[in-house]
Amino acid sequence: MIERIHTSDRSSKIVKHNGVAYITGQVAEGDTIQEQVRICLDNIENLLEQAGSSKEQMLRVTIWLADMDDFKGLNEVWNAWVPKGHAPARACGQAKLAREELKVEFIVDAAYD
């Protein structure tokens, strides 16, 4: 069975299937990479909770940066947020994001109970 949560015409914020919650890409506005990352991670934590999951249950995270020069700033916030011993598989690359002011986008897959 597939469960969709917060579904619009374009996408669902969460799709649950076979024990995996797929979280839609998260972006945020903010002046610095650190600010955008903090907001995204807060949103991700909230969506994981709504999915019956948590950051300890993340399986894979894909991160797109508009500029790889922001990699260090991303990791400053990310490293403090990820629970010790529960780091997901992670990929990070550079991509043109949907709006010029966006610096980062996160895509998360997590197990749920």
What would the mean pLDDT of 77-104 be, rounded to a whole number? 97
CB 88 within 8 A of CB 44: no
Residue 113 has pLDDT above 90, yes or no: no
Spell out a b/e string for 86-98, using b for 16 or more CB atoms within 10 Å of the CB, else e. Answer: eebeeebeeeebe
- Position 40 scores a pLDDT of 98
How are beta strands 12-17 and 20-26 bridged, if at all?
antiparallel
Any idea where the domains of the chain sit in the sequence?
Answer: 2-111
Least Cα distance to 63 among 100, 26, 10, 11 occurs for 26
As a whole number, the mean pLDDT across the chain is: 98
This prediction's pTM: 0.95
Q: How would CATH label the architecture of 2-111?
A: 2-Layer Sandwich (3.30)
pLDDT tens for each residue of 18-40: 999 999 999 999 999 999 999 99
- Position 98 scores a pLDDT of 95
